Amino acid sequence: MPQDIPVEASETLAFVPECLREIEGAPSFVLRAPTSREKRFRRRLLAEEGAANHSDADMRAEILNALKSTLWGEEKFATHGHVLTAYWEALDDFEQQRNDSPDLKWSYAADEEAAVTKLLRDVEQAWPQVGRMKADNLDFNDIFLAATVAVVVEDWTGIDVPKALDRKYLTIECVDQMGVRLMKFAEQNKILGRLAWMQLANACSNRMSLDEEEEKNSESPSPSEMTPPVSSETVTLGKGGKSPASARSKKTPVAA
């Protein structure tokens, strides 16, 4: 039976993704207890892979630049831009409040949120730089998870993938193959493949956080959530278009 928590931070951890633990012959992994060396090497891997991560502030600035310079123009932006900025302010306030109250639930006027959702999608399609920045962040998240697995996984059984090392750690290509085989095993057993992979990646991320003081100094992804939840509402971009949402005051998130 795999361990759940090592006795000491210096010990390795035998791990099987939780969704696979009742399945005979499920892949099992040996996770090392990372030190500052593993954290430095993860940063090196991210740099070598050319992983680019754009902050929320950078993403928002580019969206506003797109609206002001071409899609709306200064005059229309002056009239309607506050709807978008108010929404972002509400999101930021919610995240800050949730740090102290984890059970806090997000609440916002449905019509305004739907309008902002469609607006952001339209900007992404009409302004290539925004789409490229979002794609960079998606790639960064995938590479970050792979790099974390690469420096934490020491060995495994139940997956027919040869171990390929680079400077004593798994190569990204080896991790990619491992992930494919792990997901395939899960799917063959009627389990969502992505779930098994994410449980392994999360376990590796937790191992990287064993030393909280070191973790404070290590880099971690800050994926930009540019696009709110899916909506079927429409918003017109360009000259003569309708306002993306009615001008209303910002709504305050409420607890459940």
Classified as helix, coil or strand, 223 is: coil
* 27: confidence class by pLDDT, cuts 50, 70, 90: very high
Q: Residue 10's pLDDT is what?
A: 56
Measured between alpha carbons, how far is 193 from 112 in angstroms, rounded to an integer? Answer: 36
220 CB neighbour count, 10 Å cutoff: 14
pLDDT class of 128 with cuts at 50, 70, 90: very high
DSSP 8-state secondary structure symbol assigned to residue 18 = G
Residues 69 and 238: their CA atoms lie apart, in Å, by: 11
pLDDT for res 211: 58
Cα–Cα distance, 14 to 31 (Å, whole number): 6
Q: pLDDT confidence of 198, banded at 50, 70, 90?
A: very high
Q: Identify which has the larger pLDDT, 252 or 113.
A: 113
What does pLDDT average to over the chain? 82
DSSP string, 19-76: GGTTSTT--EEEE----HHHHHHHHHHHHHTT-----HHHHHHHHHHHIIIIIS-HHH
pTM of the model: 0.69
Q: Does residue 254 register a pLDDT over 70? A: no
Q: Compute the average pLDDT of residues 74-82.
A: 89
How does DSSP classify residue 218?
S
What's the average model confidence in pLDDT over 236-242? 35
Token couple for 183:
């997901």
When comparing pLDDT for 240 and 196, which is higher?
A: 196
**Which token pair is 123?**
């900007």
* 78-87: average pLDDT: 91
How confident is residue 224, by pLDDT bands cut at 50, 70 and 90? very low
Looking at residue 11, its pLDDT comes to: 83
Is 80 exceeded by the pLDDT of residue 241? Answer: no
Of 15, 9, 10, the residue nearest 30 (C-alpha): 15
pLDDT at 221 exceeding the cut of 50: no
What residue segments make up the domains of the chain, in order of their start?
13-52+139-217, 73-134+224-255
